[in-house]
């Protein structure tokens, strides 16, 4: 069976980072953080490779995908979550907190063109 790619996963419209972490070549030592002047130390997902982060950020910068808040149930179903305190709001945390997040496709036709 051929391994999935990120673009193939995104054909389903919504994808959790637990699903992305299972892709070939996705595992690594890096994390994606929520950015912005109004928050810090909010982890979206950790344990990712630079290649998958670059692909996600490229699609996000192009407006093809967006980050959306996910429920804990999403990650319970996927069987994987981060062992960090939950981020309850966008603020500056002293220690890392996890914001359960999924990728939502905004422009499905753009996935075929990239």
Q: Does pLDDT of 4 surpass 80?
A: no
User: Within 10 Å of residue 99's Cβ, how many Cβ atoms?
Assistant: 21
% of the chain exceeding 90 in pLDDT = 66
Write down the number of H helices and E strands in the chain: 5, 6
- The answer to whether 21 and 48 are in contact (CB under 8 A) is yes
* pTM, full prediction: 0.85
Q: Say how far apart CA 23 and CA 1 lie, in whole Å.
A: 13
SS (H, E, C) 37-91: CCCEEEEEEEEECHHHHHHHHHHHHCCCEEEEECCHHHHHHHCCCCCCCECCCCC
pLDDT in tens, 23-66: 999 999 999 999 878 888 999 999 999 999 999 999 999 999 99
Q: Does pLDDT of 17 surpass 70?
A: yes
Predicted confidence at residue 2, as pLDDT, reads 47
Tokens linked to 90:
């966008």
């Amino acid at each position: 069976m051929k391994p999935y790619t990120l673009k193939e996963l995104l054909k389903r419209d919504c994808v959790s980072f637990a699903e992305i972490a299972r892709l070939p070549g996705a595992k690594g030592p890096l994390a994606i953080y929520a950015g912005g002047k109004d928050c810090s130390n909010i982890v979206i997902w950790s344990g990712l490779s630079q290649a998958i982060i670059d692909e996600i950020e490229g699609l996000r910068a192009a407006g093809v995908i967006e980050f959306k808040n996910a429920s804990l149930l999403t990650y319970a179903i996927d069987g994987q979550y981060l062992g960090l305190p939950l981020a309850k709001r966008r603020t500056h945390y002293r220690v890392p907190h996890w914001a359960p997040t999924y990728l939502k496709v905004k422009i499905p036709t753009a996935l075929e063109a990239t």
